[in-house]
Structure 1
């Protein structure tokens, strides 16, 4: 069976405040578009297709846009952690990184309720430290979705790696299940223009549809893959792009043995297998 996970990083304005360091009105308005226009379009599409998806939500977004965050939850979608304000943990001490995770969880619970216990985490900008995985395990999280050591097969995330000019040690496998990601399967680099060489993406929906279709076809040919798309409401939420995503969903569903599931559902099923080996 091929599992498809549609994941949405609901960054809103946190992306611009912390990662991009842009707090003037125009970049912030791009984040507002994601919350006020993109999220309703995404939710409408998911409802039309009868799909449950996973939304990775920074605590800042939940507090800034509580109505939209609650709409996601009330529509039956999974909500997972995505940092406090889309910050990178790189450079933080172990204690400071742990406190940042706890701070994010506390703020999320003010919006989603004291019983909010996320099963997953995605690091902002997919940046982790040697401590991140063990910190997630200590807090009882089931999975991470930030790394790329495989393309379509989940694996046990490793903790305590060592990387220097003289040596590389992968670290020890943990009980945290990694659902791998890829820049090729992220809408941000394909579509986002930031006037920087890193982000000159002005590709057409047709081009990206073909790229993702070919990636899906290869994944499906493996017979037991997990195809994970990383999408942002402020990016995929533009009209022609959401229409392209609708076409892609229809294309994937016509293939035999395909199921669209939340990341938590896939991690629970794959985790049972991986932890037995």
Structure 2
């Protein structure tokens, strides 16, 4: 059996404000494109394929575009934590990180009426405190780490790494759904002028790469996690490519689609 978790990081304009620090009109308009154009295309396609997905959403996005976020929930999709304003937790004092997580969860619950059960770091990296804080908040899963590909595992706390070696810490209650750059639309499609990153790949090349990854996942069984962004995957040819991939996956025996919230229930 193979479970497919389609996930979307619904950053909107927050990534330009926080991560890229570009707030002139054109960068901001690229974030707005994800809301105005990309998201409706994605939702229409998911509805055609009868697939529910997980949208990791910064609180900034929920505040700025509450109608879009409510539409996701009303369509049966899951909303996950993704920072207050798409900030990295790495290096944050524990009290500050705790405050950001709590405020993020409160905003998402206020907008959607649903308390999030999972988290994805905007940086795809965690602080030494993150997993403990997720436990403290009663969350069930994280999707930011890379120690496996198609098999969830329990995230650990208090690993120790120094010149003498690497000592693993203790397992937490947090289920980790691992991610991979190979299964993210950003390195294939996102063009950035600073730094120079002409990542404009042909959709057929990306389809072949993602199909090959899924086929391996299906041979092994487990969870296939794909990460996309409405402002990137939302262009017409790319949505068509993603739908073609979903059609291929749905044609295989023993494949189900689930939000991460549902997948973590099955794992537990």
TM-score range, shorter chain: over 0.9
Native 8 Å contact 2:139 2:174 kept in 1:
yes
> 1:140 maps to which residue?
138
Shift of 1:195: 2.4
1:255-266 mapped onto 2 (5 Å cutoff): 255-266=252-263
Q: Deviations over 1:81-133 (max 9, x none)?
A: 111010001111111110110111122233123xx211110000212011101
- Matches of 2:168 and 2:128 in 1, distance apart? 10
> 2:174 maps to which residue?
176
Shift of 1:7: 0.3
> 1:100 maps to which residue?
100
- Matches of 2:110 and 2:26 in 1, distance apart? 29
Shift of 1:25: 0.6
1:86-235 mapped onto 2 (5 Å cutoff): 86-113=86-113, 116-196=114-194, 199-222=197-220, 224-235=221-232
SS in 1 for 2:156: strand
Shift of 1:269: 1.1
SS in 2 for 1:108: helix
When the two chains are superposed, the root-mean-square deviation of aligned CA atoms in Å is: 1.2
> 1:238 maps to which residue?
235
SS in 2 for 1:168: strand
The gaps in structure 1 that reach 5 residues or longer are 273-277
Over 3 Å counting, the alpha-carbon distance change for 1:196 and 1:218 in structure 2 is farther
Native 8 Å contact 2:82 2:119 kept in 1:
yes
The worse-fitting range, judged by mean Cα deviation, of 147-156 and 103-112 is: 103-112
Native 8 Å contact 1:83 1:104 kept in 2:
yes
Q: TM-score of the superposition, structure 2-length normalised? A: 0.97
SS in 2 for 1:11: coil
Shift of 1:198: 7.0
Over 3 Å counting, the alpha-carbon distance change for 1:206 and 1:78 in structure 2 is same
Shift of 1:75: 0.4
Shift of 1:254: 0.8
- Matches of 2:128 and 2:198 in 1, distance apart? 31
Q: TM-score of the superposition, structure 1-length normalised? A: 0.94
Over 3 Å counting, the alpha-carbon distance change for 1:196 and 1:211 in structure 2 is farther
Shift of 1:66: 0.5
Native 8 Å contact 1:147 1:181 kept in 2:
yes
- Matches of 1:237 and 1:79 in 2, distance apart? 18
Over 3 Å counting, the alpha-carbon distance change for 1:238 and 1:111 in structure 2 is same
1:30 aligns with 2:58: no
> 1:249 maps to which residue?
246
> 2:55 maps to which residue?
55
